[in-house]
Amino acid sequence: MIPQHHYVSCVGCGTRVHAYDTAAFACPNRDCLPEANHVLQKKHVVTRALWQRTYLEDSKNPFIRYRHRLLGYHRTLNARHTDVDYLERIMQLDGVLAAIDGSGFVETPLTIERELADALDFDPAQNLFVKDETRNVGGSHKARHLFGILLNLGADALKRPFAIASCGNAALAAAIVSKAAGTALEVFIPTDAETAVVERLKRLGANLTVCERREGELGDPCYLRFLEAVKAGAIPFSCQGSDNGLTIEGGQTLAYELFDQWRAKRHMCHHMFVQAGGGALASSSAQALAEVMRHEPLPVLPRFHTVQTGSVFPLARAYDRVVRLIAARLRDEPLPALEACVDDMDTAARARMHGASGIAERLIMADCIRSAWDSTAVQSIIRYAAAKKHVFMWPWENPTPSMAHGILDDETYDWFAILCTMLRTGGLPLVADESYIARAHTLARETTAISPSATGSAGLAGLLLMKEARAIADYENACLYFTGIER
């Protein structure tokens, strides 16, 4: 049986799902209680001995090295299989992935980028860490998420078609992983999907459905068609935790690696920057950070910052609303009335959120909330946000194009865990206009040996904003993810 320290529960309504239920991808109450933030999260009450068993492993494959932390591994044991059975399955799938894409899963490098740091006027004593996912399976971090889902599925689930809504890296990763598993995949793509991506998806055997926006319909049309396919019986093989909570733990292996690499070199990090579209990467990193701090605290708890474009920033909007309520509660003032699904940010609020000019002021409030994180005032608002998602997070009304098109999701589906981590650590949701996105992309390619896409280097745009605001001290280190290769 699965050890009692594993279970799955919904952050919005508290529903607890049996950890061995391989058909549980989303909260069963999401349709009857649509106002809540229904996201299933794996919960660990892991002993220190079990947590540290990873350090006895020499494997560079994260799904082997960190298997004792993964629900998919314990589901394998629960099904009366053994540790050897799990290892054999990983190695067999990894071999097929290598035959399809040229590489299986390996630990990806964490480098100190001195030339990039110099270009940003870092002090010589400061370190700028870059975690490079551009050479992972499919050329991005997305395959980690999807492989994590695959390891949680039983033989019956593999007979059903898989479905995903994506225009790029996630679709390619899904096509590669599903091909390795021998399953059919339906990909819902936008009308402006890149030709090269579309052609590769066809070569990988994916079934493609091009989705146009329908008049009067709010939200990403690809995502809406994906939901229809899932309702018809497809497996949600996606990077949205709200539709498949199992997508998070595969992404957590990336952050586990990062923290282990810091620890091995005895490095400290003061600021993490994570680009956020649908939010799975940021949510995975946030939840992994919480686990690490619970079991083996880092010397410094880094400020956890997210980066979105000026074209679409629903996470920053949600954060602004939550902070307004918390600020009122901390000052013992009446709570402002927030209407559901109504964007009430005035010009001044948008100005504070965009660019570098409002960062100093926002950090003061962020530090107040960080200091009061465990207080009733803050936690009561956090509970309210979990129960009333529609007051804080809904699809962006008027999305516009961006170079970083991979993070233009109408909604940050995995927003809640990210929001809590930003508030707990004193981090900020940063909104970068196109000039910062473009500059970050150029700097990444000119000053490092990595070739990320504009989406993959978007976290650097947040660092540019923080440096411009003089919000990083001369002794503080920073860390970025470069998550997707230029195609």
Cβ–Cβ < 8 Å for 104, 94: yes
Is 393's pLDDT higher than 70?
yes
**CATH class entry, domain 110-138+247-482:** alpha beta
| Delimiting residues of CATH 3.40.50.1100 domain(s) in the chain | 110-138+247-482, 153-245
Number of Cβ within 10 Å of residue 382's Cβ equals 18
Is 74's pLDDT higher than 50?
yes
pLDDT in tens, 273-325: 999 999 999 999 999 999 999 888 899 999 999 999 999 999 999 999 999 99
Pair type for strands 478-482 and 128-132: parallel
Residue 290: which of 461, 424, 387 has the closest Cα? Answer: 424
How far is Cα 451 from Cα 445, in angstroms, rounded to an integer?
Answer: 5
- Locate 101 and state its tokens: 């894409």
Pair type for strands 40-44 and 6-10: antiparallel
Contacts 24+ apart (CB under 8 A), 435-442: 436/461, 436/464, 436/465, 437/309, 437/402, 437/403, 437/404, 437/461, 438/403, 439/464, 440/464, 441/403
Number of Cβ within 10 Å of residue 350's Cβ equals 17
> Could you tell me which CATH number the domain at 153-245 has?
3.40.50.1100
Tell me, what amino acid is at 197? V
Residue 295: which of 31, 110, 50 has the closest Cα? Answer: 50
How far is Cα 220 from Cα 408, in angstroms, rounded to an integer?
Answer: 10
Q: Which residues pair with 110 in a beta bridge?
A: 131
Lowest mean pLDDT among 47-56, 396-405, 478-487: 47-56
Number of Cβ within 10 Å of residue 151's Cβ equals 22
Lowest mean pLDDT among 234-238, 294-298, 318-322, 473-477: 294-298
In the block, tokens 């497809």 appear at: 234
What confidence category does residue 2 fall into, taking pLDDT thresholds of 50, 70 and 90?
very low
Cβ–Cβ < 8 Å for 355, 433: yes
How far is Cα 69 from Cα 50, in angstroms, rounded to an integer?
Answer: 8
How far is Cα 410 from Cα 240, in angstroms, rounded to an integer?
Answer: 12
- Looking at residues 132-140, what average pLDDT do you find? 95
Residue 160, phi-psi category: left (phi > 0), alpha (psi -120 to 50), beta (remainder)? beta
Residue 359: which of 273, 481, 284, 281 has the closest Cα? Answer: 273
Beta strands in 125-244 (DSSP E): 128-132, 162-165, 185-190, 207-211, 235-236
pTM of the predicted model, to two decimals? Answer: 0.94
How far is Cα 282 from Cα 286, in angstroms, rounded to an integer?
Answer: 6
Q: How many residues does the chain have?
A: 487
Residue 218: which of 385, 388, 343, 399 has the closest Cα? Answer: 399
What confidence category does residue 256 fall into, taking pLDDT thresholds of 50, 70 and 90?
very high
What confidence category does residue 46 fall into, taking pLDDT thresholds of 50, 70 and 90?
low
Percent of the chain with pLDDT over 90: 73
Tell me, what amino acid is at 425? T
Residue 41: which of 28, 25, 52 has the closest Cα? Answer: 25
Is 17's pLDDT higher than 90?
no
What confidence category does residue 1 fall into, taking pLDDT thresholds of 50, 70 and 90?
very low
pLDDT given for residue 239 in this prediction: 93
pLDDT given for residue 421 in this prediction: 98
Is 251's pLDDT higher than 90?
yes
Burial class (CB in 10 A: 0-12, 13-18, 19+), 217: exposed
pLDDT given for residue 56 in this prediction: 56
pLDDT in tens, 95-128: 999 999 999 999 999 999 999 999 999 999 999 9
